[in-house]
Amino acid sequence: MKDIKLLDPLEAVLKALENTTVKTQTEVVSIFDALNRVLADDIACKKPLPAFDNSAMDGYAVKLSDAGKKVEIKATILAGDFPKDIIIKNGMVSKIMTGAFVPPSAEAIVPYEDAQKFDEKFVILPQNLKDSAHIRRKGEEVKEGEIIIKKGELLRPAHIAILASQGITNIKVYKKLKIGVLSTGSEIKEPWEDATEYQIYNSNSSAIFASCLEMNLDVSYLGAIPDDKELFKKTVREFYEYDVIFTSGGVSVGDADFTEEVFCSEGMQKIIHGLALKPGKHAMYGIMKNTTIIGLPGNPLSSIAVFMLFATPILAKMQGRNSFYHTVSLAKNKKTFSFGGKRANLILGTLQDGNFSATDDYEYGSGMLTPIIKSNSFIIAGKGVEEIKKGDEVRVIMPFTFNSNKPNDIYTNPKQQD
């Protein structure tokens, strides 16, 4: 019998991350190709935000001393104008449009709707005027030289907008991780092949492949290998060009489960083999020269569960992200359900309106796929927990989202709430 030491899931994640290093190769890309890439350098503000004092409203540029008075409309300032010759004096105002340059002589902006129109040339201002009201001051959002996007940020549409606001068109990002996905097992048939009643279609590789695309990785499918140790050895020797290799199946303790043995014979340093988790017991993590090896279970639900909990933080850190620990949200459990507590349990569910609902009341098996479709999140019930009651506080993990570079408490443990 093979010796498999089951690690606590959080301990396994922390141990894997301790052994994970950032892939430091970079490239320069256009901001229009930068969505979901990881920034490799800090970006400093070159053009203050706002770049000049401007109006936040359509209205009138006024003097504070004219509060409650009838004043004459002397000029109009449009967005894009540079009104160098317009000076706001007592008894006069200038019409001004949203985003337009505010003359230094203006002390506040009065929105059109707050002023009483007297006729085409005069308006009556409100009694109370506040200094700098509705004026967006130069640099009040970001001053020149301040860091506006930090190295390691995953670039989202808002980041692209800020880069464009600075006149930046090209940026340095980390190169995409190169991922290889491989399945093992003589019972596996590809979706485009004919499968007999004792064979199964290969869904795991498709799920892993798609999950890597979800993280914007450069992923290749390497095929399915039958239970042939010598053939697997030859295949392993071609893995060194990849940053990460995912295997599916072959990491259990059966006679045909030789994945670990072959990888170790080819120089892999085994770091983790086995998680004290249901589903997801049979998982492996190791490093073979510069290639990270992640072995996932063969059962479809187990494979995806381990990928979401265990593999995604590793990939996030390797990508160069400065946040790579799971986002955890507090919620209330919607309906009581129970289960065995010999190991930690990963429980799929749906988070909605602050409530967590376990998918199918947690009555599903590790070989199923439909529970994943029905779920948008999951919780981890700690070892020894056998029931989560209606109204218990749970810690919900949102897949593929990370908000910290420090570990979050991932365990839901209702016993501690008593």
Judge whether 45 and 148 are in contact, CB under 8 Å. yes
What's domain 325-417's superfamily in CATH?
Answer: MoeA, C-terminal, domain IV (2.40.340.10)
Judge whether 394 and 379 are in contact, CB under 8 Å. yes
Q: What is the pLDDT of residues 60-104, one digit of tens each?
A: 999 999 999 999 999 999 999 998 889 999 999 999 999 999 999
CATH code for the domain defined by 27-48+145-174: 3.90.105.10
d(CA 10, CA 109): 55
Domain 54-136 has CATH 2.170.190.11: yes
- pLDDT > 50? residue 222: yes
Give backbone dihedrals phi and psi of 410, rounded to 5 degrees, phi first: -95, -5
Q: How many helices (H) and strands (E) does the chain have?
A: 8, 29
Looking only at the bridges linking them, the beta strands covering 377-381 and 411-412 are parallel
pLDDT of residue 253: 46
- pLDDT > 60? residue 255: no
pLDDT band per the 50, 70, 90 thresholds, residue 223: confident
Range(s) within the chain of domains with CATH label 3.40.980.10 = 9-24+176-318
Range(s) within the chain of domains with CATH label 3.90.105.10 = 27-48+145-174
**In angstroms, what CA-CA distances link 140 with 43, 53, 136?**
18, 9, 7
Q: What is the pLDDT of residues 340-385, one digit of tens each?
A: 999 999 999 999 999 999 999 999 988 888 999 999 999 999 999 9
- CA 331 remoteness from chain centre: 20
**Picking from 2-16, 21-35, 162-176, 205-219, which range would have the lowest pLDDT averaged per residue?**
2-16
Using DSSP, state whether 218 is helix, strand or coil.
Answer: strand
d(CA 350, CA 338): 17
d(CA 308, CA 211): 9
Mean per-residue pLDDT over the chain, rounded: 92
Judge whether 180 and 246 are in contact, CB under 8 Å. yes
Looking only at the bridges linking them, the beta strands covering 284-288 and 291-296 are antiparallel
Least Cα distance to 50 among 126, 132, 124 occurs for 132
Judge whether 258 and 266 are in contact, CB under 8 Å. no
3-state helix, strand, coil in the chain (%, to 5): 20, 35, 45
Residue type, 1: M
pLDDT of residue 257: 59
Top-confidence residue, 25 or 418: 25
Judge whether 126 and 111 are in contact, CB under 8 Å. no
Q: Is 218 exposed, middle or buried (0-12, 13-18, 19+ CB in 10 A)?
A: middle
pLDDT of residue 117: 85
Pinpoint the alpha helices (H) of 47-166: 157-165
CATH code for the domain defined by 9-24+176-318: 3.40.980.10
